[in-house]
């Protein structure tokens, strides 16, 4: 049966029993509104606060929190699979059989998707160090196919061509070049650290309407949504179909295009110029997502930030904003927990015009600065990190809490 696509507001109109409950509405501007969410139409959400009704325009809403995201039970081992549309699925078990991936989600359901929509798979995702490394590893290795192995604390990519899984879902075929000759091998699936697949989202894929986050941390990019007897049936832009009961839904997030963190956006162009510091360390990247260069939390002035980028000099990132945003803001500085010498420079450009240059020195008493820029009508936002010398040794910049908003 073909699913009809409709707006998130339209979906809410069909779900009054979901909305008549306590919740919190986060706004693009202003403090969150806490109360009973009693109705939604195509223009607004009506919230009852201490008996008084507030009409909130839909265009000003970032998200609706329905219930907290629950904690995964300590000691639970699980894997993390990411689809080409950014959907992240946490699974207690998974198997690649032929060209299909079957996942047993932590929340219970079993899901099967074709491998052509799978971007990467990480085993032992319950280890925070693994997931911190994985965000940057997948970003810096886009367009490459590899099996990822871990020995002790050392994680390495082995570039290869990944083939099919066997009928039982225990091994996967791969082809590697040994002494200049292609060699076909088999690898046990669940003993690898992870897999990177050379797959991309179909350019004709439907756009994201909203993001659904369930109570166990699965993050579903939603392009189609349909109520069913138990809750919601959603279709992702990559074509994966999933069912969620109302008790499993923690948040409906429709901030995309209103407020977006740079670490969640894919730059249209990235230039990372290598230098001597890179030659002997192939996994020493120029861009680290949501971590500092040591893969720890981004920390500036004693404050930790969950979102942001850590960049080494000689890096250029360009984002296609399409003139849809009004403001860029971030905290720029040298991480408290990463050694630094000399001076690092950030240049921000909009459509080729310099908007700001920030210089941070390791000798500065205060090694971070807040940045807020008007980017109204900017089509392309470019960030360039430079050093005060030829090499980038012991130079870096955190761009913490970096976001563009309307």
- Predicted confidence at residue 281, as pLDDT, reads 58
- Tell me how far apart the alpha carbons of residues 11 and 16 are, in angstroms, rounded to a whole number: 10
Taking the alpha carbons of 360, 322, 261, 135 in that order, is the dihedral positive or negative?
Answer: negative
Q: How far apart are the first and last CA of the chain?
A: 38
Cβ–Cβ contacts within 10 Å for residue 90, how many?
Answer: 21
CB 396 within 8 A of CB 311: yes
**For residue 375, what is the DSSP state?**
-
- Plot region of 150 (φ>0 → left; ψ -120 to 50 → alpha; else → beta): beta
Identify the weakest region by mean pLDDT among 38-42, 88-92, 98-102, 167-171. 38-42
pLDDT surpassing 90 at residue 358: yes
DSSP secondary structure string, 276-337?
A: TTTTT-TT--SEEESS-TTSS-EEETTEEESSEEEE-SSEEEEEE-TT---EEEEEEE--TT
DSSP secondary structure string, 272-289?
A: E---TTTTT-TT--SEEE
Average pLDDT over every residue of 110-131: 96
Within its chain, how far is the Cα of 84 from the centroid? 11
pLDDT surpassing 70 at residue 282: no
Residue that is written with structure tokens 């925070």 in the block: 128
Structure tokens at 102: 């079957």
Taking Cα atoms as reference points, which of 200, 221, 203, 201 lies closest to residue 212?
Answer: 221
26: pLDDT confidence band, cut at 50, 70 and 90? Answer: confident
- Predicted confidence at residue 373, as pLDDT, reads 98
- Predicted confidence at residue 40, as pLDDT, reads 52
Identify the weakest region by mean pLDDT among 32-36, 60-64, 157-161. 60-64
- Tell me how far apart the alpha carbons of residues 271 and 193 are, in angstroms, rounded to a whole number: 28
pLDDT surpassing 70 at residue 8: no
Alpha helices for 87-127 (secondary structure H)? none
pLDDT surpassing 80 at residue 194: yes
pLDDT surpassing 50 at residue 246: yes
- Predicted confidence at residue 14, as pLDDT, reads 42
- Predicted confidence at residue 46, as pLDDT, reads 81
pLDDT surpassing 90 at residue 149: yes
Structure tokens at 384: 């360039």
Judging by beta carbons within 10 Å of its beta carbon (0-12, 13-18, 19+), is residue 363 exposed, middle or buried? exposed
- Tell me how far apart the alpha carbons of residues 249 and 213 are, in angstroms, rounded to a whole number: 6
Judging by beta carbons within 10 Å of its beta carbon (0-12, 13-18, 19+), is residue 383 exposed, middle or buried? buried
Residue that is written with structure tokens 């989600």 in the block: 105
Compute the mean pLDDT over every residue in the chain, rounded to the nearest whole number. Answer: 88
- Predicted confidence at residue 389, as pLDDT, reads 75
Average pLDDT over every residue of 200-217: 91
- Predicted confidence at residue 317, as pLDDT, reads 97
Average pLDDT over every residue of 157-163: 95
Judging by beta carbons within 10 Å of its beta carbon (0-12, 13-18, 19+), is residue 353 exposed, middle or buried? exposed
Residue that is written with structure tokens 């779900």 in the block: 15
- Predicted confidence at residue 9, as pLDDT, reads 41
Give the residues across from 222 on adjacent strands: 210
- pTM for the model stands at 0.85
């Amino acid at each position: 049966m073909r699913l009809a696509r409709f707006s998130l507001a339209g979906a809410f109109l069909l779900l009054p029993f979901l909305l008549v409950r306590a919740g919190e509405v986060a706004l693009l501007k202003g403090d969150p509104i806490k109360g009973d969410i009693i109705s939604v139409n195509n223009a607004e959400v009506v919230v009852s606060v201490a008996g008084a009704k507030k009409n909130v325009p839909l265009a000003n809403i970032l998200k609706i929190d329905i219930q907290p995201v629950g904690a995964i039970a300590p000691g639970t081992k699980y894997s993390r699979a990411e689809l080409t549309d950014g959907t992240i699925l946490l699974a207690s078990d998974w198997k690649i059989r032929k060209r299909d991936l079957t996942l047993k989600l932590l929340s219970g359901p079993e899901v099967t998707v074709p491998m052509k929509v799978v971007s990467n798979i990480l085993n032992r995702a319950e280890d925070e160090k693994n997931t911190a490394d994985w965000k940057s590893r997948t970003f810096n290795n886009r367009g490459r196919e590899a099996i990822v192995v871990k020995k002790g604390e050392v994680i390495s990519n082995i570039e290869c061509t990944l083939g099919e899984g066997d009928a039982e879902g225990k091994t996967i075929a791969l082809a590697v070049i040994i002494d200049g000759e292609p060699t076909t091998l088999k690898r046990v699936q669940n003993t690898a650290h992870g897999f990177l697949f050379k797959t991309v989202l179909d350019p004709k894929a439907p756009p994201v309407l909203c993001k659904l986050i369930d109570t166990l941390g699965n993050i579903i990019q939603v392009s189609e949504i349909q109520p069913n007897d138990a809750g919601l049936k959603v279709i992702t832009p990559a074509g994966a179909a999933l069912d969620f009961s109302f008790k499993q839904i923690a948040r409906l997030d429709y901030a995309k295009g209103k407020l977006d963190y740079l670490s969640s956006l894919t730059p249209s162009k990235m230039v990372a110029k290598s230098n001597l510091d890179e030659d002997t360390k192939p996994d020493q990247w120029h861009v680290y997502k949501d971590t500092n260069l040591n893969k720890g939390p981004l920390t500036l002035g004693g404050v930790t930030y969950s979102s942001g980028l850590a960049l080494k000099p000689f890096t250029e990132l360009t984002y296609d904003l399409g003139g849809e945003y009004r403001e860029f803001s971030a905290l720029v500085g040298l991480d408290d927990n990463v050694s630094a010498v000399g001076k690092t420079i950030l240049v921000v450009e909009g459509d080729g015009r310099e908007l700001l240059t920030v210089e941070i020195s390791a000798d500065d008493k205060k090694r971070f600065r807040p940045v807020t820029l008007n980017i109204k009508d900017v089509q392309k936002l470019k960030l360039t990190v430079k050093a005060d010398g030829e090499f980038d040794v012991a130079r870096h910049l955190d761009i913490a809490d970096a976001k563009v908003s309307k």
